[in-house]
A = this chain, B = another copy of it.
Amino acid sequence: MRLNPRSGLKDMSKLRAQISVSADGYVAGPDQSEENPLGVGGEHLHDWMIELRAWRETHGREGGEVNASTPVAEAYLASTGAEIMGRGKFGGGPGPWGDDPWTGWWGDDPPFHMPVFVLTHHAREPLTLSDTTFNFVTDGIESALEQAREAAAGKDVLVGGGANAINQYLAGGLLDELQLSVVPVVLGRGARLFEGVGPEIELEQVSAIEAPGVSHVKYRVARG
């Protein structure tokens, strides 16, 4: 939790990261591409989530399960006011955006329903699709955080991935909470969480929840 003398509301706003990770610590497999956005083998990292009714409702799909993962998904949906993501998660490959720029993986009605801030080296006008606006931030993670906090209006800000974005906020000591959904998969290679993060980052275990095909471990994060 950051203290902000200018706003009582923002005092309550946390910066959280929530991500599915393989047992060997990868949030995506190797060789990410348009066909394989989560890399080879990475598509199974989100199986536990896609089966949930709570997730399906926000993605316009019917059916789904209610199980021990449901409160984890619902807590995310209820408390998040803005999301920060890396250029890799938004997709479209590296480099300049070009004349016919990529508009994300999610079609005309993205499942975020909140302001999204995309970390990139390449400037671009905001993109609004249905009730999601993607803002492209070129001046670094602290600027993105400041803009996202403002947009979240007192709710939490989520760093939704990928590994590189989360690792930067972790290493910078900016993250307040890290929720890992550990999936029983070995990827062997890929985008590794905690890469470049050192022992100066202190964790406190908040909870560990057993759910079908996944275990959810939540940490409070501090910089020692």
Q: Which residues of A come within 8 Å of B, CB atoms?
A: 23-25, 29, 40-41, 180, 182, 184-189, 193-194, 197-199, 201-205, 207-211, 213-215, 217, 219
A-B contact pairs, 26 of them (CB 8 A): A23-B180, A23-B217, A24-B193, A25-B25, A25-B194, A40-B199, A41-B199, A182-B217, A184-B203, A184-B204, A184-B205, A185-B203, A186-B194, A186-B197, A186-B201, A186-B202, A187-B199, A188-B194, A188-B198, A188-B199, A205-B213, A205-B214, A207-B210, A208-B208, A208-B211, A215-B217
- A199 interface neighbour in B185, B194, B201, Cβ under 8 Å: B185
The distance in angstroms between the C-alpha atoms of A209 and B207, with both chains bound, is 10
Report the bound CA distance from A82 to B198 in whole Å: 36
- Of chain B, the residue at the smallest CB distance from A194 is B24
What's the nearest-Cβ distance from chain B to residue A165, in Å?
A: 17
Given A184-B203, A201-B186, A203-B184, is A194 in contact with B23 using a C-beta cutoff of 8 Å? Answer: yes
Chain B residues positioned under 8 Å from A188 (CB to CB): 194, 197-199
B215 engages A208 (CB within 8 Å): yes
Which chain B residue has the least Cβ–Cβ distance from A182?
Answer: B217
On whether the beta carbons of A23 and B186 are closer than 8 Å, the reply is no
Task: Name the residue on B nearest A203 (C-beta).
Answer: B184
Considering the chains assembled together, what is the distance between the CA atoms of A199 and B222 in angstroms?
33
Contact A219–B184 (Cβ < 8 Å): yes
* Chain B residue at minimum C-beta to C-beta distance from A219: B184
CA distance A25 to B215 in the complex (A): 15
A215 contact from B24, B193, B215, Cβ within 8 A: B215
Known A-B contacts A23-B194, A219-B23; the reply to A208 vs B205 at CB < 8 A is: no
Q: Which residue of B lies closest to A185 (CB)?
A: B203
Which 3 residue pairs of A and B lie closest in terms of their CB atoms, listed nearest first?
A208-B215, A24-B194, A208-B210
Nearest CB of B to A24, in Å? 4
Q: Is the CB of B215 within 8 A of A205?
A: yes
Q: Determine how close the nearest CB of chain B comes to the CB of A8; give it in whole angstroms.
A: 31
